[in-house]
Chain A
């Protein structure tokens, strides 16, 4: 720590850190543009100038750029002297000479960093008399709108897109005041992280195109802290609502999880909340062949209550995309032995295995920030860009850590971005990626290995054996794979903090076990190892804590006649099991009751349909693949009879007359207390966020900004009498603009705003230190901590090598970031980016089958014959083919990997 004097006041700060970082951490107002906490300093915009003095007696001083100046002991600076203030005002003035007269029609207006900084420096009149230069805009796809005239050339967009996220199709063109940021030609931005440009850009050049369709200013959005439901990473988000619709998703900083960035699936996948396919009122099918009719809640509950008397005959099917509370309520309804995870048996087993590896093994379950702290990685079997995109972005930062040692040796601090990148050049830390086919992350890999799942597992087992001879040996390993395994083992062993990444996406237990062996072998070495296991959905791990056994077990029970009524929670079973099995299950059961928010194939077969709330309309808790329990809060009160799943299930129990245990469940806290009693390992659920009785100076925390407009007019056309705001028994937040206006505790931060800081950059006021944890600690509770001295015996079931056999293909599941996840796929913007279903074939196999790209191929997947266009993927090994996961025309591929026969389709 160094002592420094700022405007005559004594402060303490970390020596060597840049001055801008320190000033912002101390809560001082210092304008800046090109600096970004995650991107470092380049000193390009000259906006953050301050005056530095030799010592306390120096009256002259000199202007320095604070972002480029490291803090030293005894430093004397001032932000307030007239010279530096004038300098900063002049810089803004010159940046504004070409800025268009657009604020009223600019989507950034009201949350614009340029507006904030202009006001902060006091510039208010354009003294420049000459013409403004203009640009033509580009079409950048369904996510991002381009308005190039507004650019102030801070270079943050390309520094994020190219340098940080590895995107190749956004660049700076031309020179001087003609500098243009765009693509070489019109077209959708290819990077999966393009949405972050909206937050990275300090002006309105890159704005959210989906928000533009129903544009609302930041001050008019009702917001609440939420958690992304589109993959298992548990990124924190801020959804914004106006007029009963979700309008956009913004990143909610979390020091340990998502940091400053989200992926495009998380940011633009929200439209399902507003979709026309939402279920908004209870529906009932009175006759077996009749249609579903809308009924009142009372009528529905009376009808179901009467039919529900025999609790022994009811089984419940939970869901990995429903909250812990919803699943727990269903478990309470049907009883422990009749509650099943709503996933394929195979997936249930895989997730349980992942949970077991994390819980019982010595390796630490890594958060995304932990990933960015590691310096070597082995990815086994996961195409991260498509299964867990945000993790892929963290891996890109990981590979910089080892080469950053070069910069440190040369005396260059990490934050000195340009210099550090200059010295690193293309140097990358050890990253080994072993997957079925090439991934979008292969460009950062030191070595890649493309093979069938069995061979990937064998490679993993071989690495573990090379690290620790006690780990089982792999027999008959090919010399190439053995040499690669030795190189990987060496790189991981010599790393300061090695990481192993794997997951369930290939549907292979052996791959998970191999990854566990590697991590455990590394842990034995002494330096420990981080392990990140990707599970399929936002609450897969939470569901695994509650239920064993998947849909197959449920089908057995129904077939044996043990049950005749099914209660299905937020789940489309047709995505979880082969069509035949689901048809059989739904047809055999006498009564199928579905609690869900969106229509799908399963709701079409329901006898009764109960409208549940989405993540935006309910409160709940999710467990991310790190094992972090995180609360999401209701953003708005929906129209119609929509309510939380657990409330529906409670009312069902009360109506059926066996609700004595749930009669007292009046708020979310009551459910949590019941959970606490029922299951000790879920005890942390009450600690994930403050409970509803929490108050700051006697006040709740408002969801609406203090400038929320139109209160007395927005509903005046319906009812001139203003209604009082809805009550919220489930959280310490209110649906109003009244309440505590200061900084709320970190799990309850509804938006980032501070006086003078209307843009997302207000975030620095909420952090203990810039880019550090949120004040009061990052939200959420980690359920899984490693037992460092745990000595689990190694997994020893090593599969045989994959043998390509004539005429047969090993079909593996291939995930797609856009389309494979059910809810985000309903967003029109995501739909535009979704690739058509195709069968991926290796070059050899396509030659053998005599098919070219686009030719139709006949193949039987999950027991159903299909015709799919072929897609030749050169990186696929011989004898391995890939089928897309979860696409609308091919919903279920749960039986993969399996051996199939494919033929060229006869042209009809």
Chain B
């Protein structure tokens, strides 16, 4: 009998304590920037696509849900012809982000990827590309790479000498 009253008393006390339930989605919780959620493709500080279609994200993906094809513009700059992520397979492990040598692919705090039709979970490059650089604002791969692209000739990257003249006889 005593325990019954004690329990009711405890329940009564709880009606005055702070509520733990969050009113999601009216109330959005805080997600840290390094949260591993929906994947995006970012752009470099000049506004160009960062992805160079190296295929490292695709091969790192344990569920093989990334598929892409490389192509080039007329100046030799490489970018993906198509870039497809099947989010119905993605496990948000973040291996793709870790493998990416250009900071192009990044995971965002958004995890609300739910659809009535599975087909809508297949994201193409147009769906993945955002207009900013994401978490790494300053980095531009082509500024350090040796490959010449439009607006950056040989020897114009960071830490590079001007091109050598192989016909020169000078030591």
- Which residues A183-218 have CB closer than 8 A to chain B? 212, 214-217
B67: A residues at CB distance < 8 A: 709-710, 713-714, 716
B53: A residues at CB distance < 8 A: 215
B102: A residues at CB distance < 8 A: 104
Q: Which of B64, B124, B154 lies in contact with A135, CB distance below 8 A?
A: B154
* B91 CB to nearest A CB, Å: 11
The answer to whether B34 has its CB under 8 Å from any CB of chain A is no
A176: B residues at CB distance < 8 A: 171
A interface footprint on B34-60 (CB within 8 Å = 1, 0 otherwise): 000000000000000000111110110
Number of interface residues of B (CB under 8 A): 50
- Which residues B110-138 have CB closer than 8 A to chain A? 118-119, 121-122, 124
A630: B residues at CB distance < 8 A: none
Q: Which of A215, A709, A716, A717 lies in contact with B58, CB distance below 8 A?
A: A709
B1-9, B14-22, B23-31, B158-166: which lies at the interface: B158-166
Which of A104, A131, A174, A216: most chain B Cβ within 10 A?
Answer: A104
Assembly CA distance A176 to B164 (angstroms): 12
Q: Is the interface of A mostly helix, strand, loop or mixed?
A: loop
The answer to whether B66 has its CB under 8 Å from any CB of chain A is yes
B171: A residues at CB distance < 8 A: 175-176
Q: Which of A105, A173, A243, A707 lies in contact with B166, CB distance below 8 A?
A: A173
Assembly CA distance A716 to B86 (angstroms): 7
B52: A residues at CB distance < 8 A: 104-105
Given A174-B168, A176-B171; A219-B59 close (CB under 8 Å): yes
B164 lies within 8 A of A180 (CB): yes
A-B contact count (CB 8 A): 136
B interface footprint on A706-726 (CB within 8 Å = 1, 0 otherwise): 011111111011001000000
A178 lies within 8 A of B164 (CB): yes
Assembly CA distance A269 to B146 (angstroms): 31
Interface residues on A, range: 35 or more
The answer to whether A132 has its CB under 8 Å from any CB of chain B is yes
A182: B residues at CB distance < 8 A: 166
Assembly CA distance A87 to B147 (angstroms): 30
Assembly CA distance A109 to B78 (angstroms): 14
B145: A residues at CB distance < 8 A: 100-102, 104-105
B interface footprint on A657-701 (CB within 8 Å = 1, 0 otherwise): 000000000000000000000000000000000000000000000
The answer to whether A220 has its CB under 8 Å from any CB of chain B is yes
* A164 CB to nearest B CB, Å: 23
Q: Which of B58, B141, B166 lies in contact with A174, CB distance below 8 A?
A: B166
B interface footprint on A124-136 (CB within 8 Å = 1, 0 otherwise): 0000000111111
The answer to whether A400 has its CB under 8 Å from any CB of chain B is no
Assembly CA distance A217 to B166 (angstroms): 32
Closest B residue to A172 by beta carbon equals: B166
Assembly CA distance A101 to B59 (angstroms): 20
The answer to whether A898 has its CB under 8 Å from any CB of chain B is no
The answer to whether A103 has its CB under 8 Å from any CB of chain B is yes
The answer to whether A785 has its CB under 8 Å from any CB of chain B is no
Given A104-B141, A105-B54, A173-B166; A134-B154 close (CB under 8 Å): yes
Assembly CA distance A710 to B82 (angstroms): 12
B64 lies within 8 A of A712 (CB): yes
B interface footprint on A114-148 (CB within 8 Å = 1, 0 otherwise): 00000000000000000111111100000000010
Closest B residue to A147 by beta carbon equals: B147
Assembly CA distance A176 to B52 (angstroms): 33
B69 lies within 8 A of A243 (CB): yes
Which of A103, A150, A711, A712: most chain B Cβ within 10 A?
Answer: A712
Assembly CA distance A220 to B56 (angstroms): 11
B61 lies within 8 A of A709 (CB): yes
Assembly CA distance A109 to B101 (angstroms): 13
B65: A residues at CB distance < 8 A: 710, 712-713
B interface footprint on A434-460 (CB within 8 Å = 1, 0 otherwise): 000000000000000000000000000
B146 lies within 8 A of A132 (CB): yes
A136 lies within 8 A of B163 (CB): yes
B63: A residues at CB distance < 8 A: 712
A150 lies within 8 A of B118 (CB): no
Assembly CA distance A216 to B78 (angstroms): 13
The answer to whether A540 has its CB under 8 Å from any CB of chain B is no
The answer to whether A149 has its CB under 8 Å from any CB of chain B is yes
Closest A residue to B162 by beta carbon equals: A134
A707 lies within 8 A of B59 (CB): yes
Q: Which of B58, B101, B119, B122 lies in contact with A710, CB distance below 8 A?
A: B58
Which of A134, A147, A182, A220: most chain B Cβ within 10 A?
Answer: A134
Q: Which of B64, B86, B160, B167 lies in contact with A134, CB distance below 8 A?
A: B160
A711: B residues at CB distance < 8 A: 64
Given A134-B160, A217-B59; A713-B86 close (CB under 8 Å): yes
A709 lies within 8 A of B166 (CB): no
Assembly CA distance A709 to B66 (angstroms): 7
The answer to whether B98 has its CB under 8 Å from any CB of chain A is no
Q: Which of A132, A175, A707 lies in contact with B159, CB distance below 8 A?
A: A132
B54 lies within 8 A of A104 (CB): yes
B54 lies within 8 A of A720 (CB): no
Given A105-B145, A178-B164, A716-B122; A710-B66 close (CB under 8 Å): yes
B161 lies within 8 A of A133 (CB): yes
The answer to whether B88 has its CB under 8 Å from any CB of chain A is yes
Closest B residue to A128 by beta carbon equals: B159
Q: Which of A147, A217, A712 lies in contact with B55, CB distance below 8 A?
A: A217
Which of A101, A110, A150: most chain B Cβ within 10 A?
Answer: A101
B101 lies within 8 A of A103 (CB): yes
The answer to whether B70 has its CB under 8 Å from any CB of chain A is yes
Closest A residue to B68 by beta carbon equals: A710
Q: Which of A105, A150, A174 lies in contact with B164, CB distance below 8 A?
A: A174
Assembly CA distance A100 to B102 (angstroms): 15
Q: Which of A101, A136, A215 lies in contact with B144, CB distance below 8 A?
A: A101
Given A103-B101, A104-B101; A149-B154 close (CB under 8 Å): yes
A137: B residues at CB distance < 8 A: 148, 154
Q: Which of B147, B157, B163, B168 lies in contact with A105, CB distance below 8 A?
A: B147
| Contacts A103-B101, A215-B71 known; 14 new A-B pairs at CB < 8 A | A104-B101, A135-B164, A147-B146, A173-B167, A174-B167, A178-B168, A220-B55, A709-B61, A709-B64, A710-B65, A710-B66, A710-B68, A713-B64, A716-B86
- 12 CB contacts below 8 A, A to B, read A104-B145, A131-B161, A134-B155, A147-B146, A147-B147, A173-B166, A176-B171, A180-B166, A220-B58, A709-B55, A710-B58, A713-B66
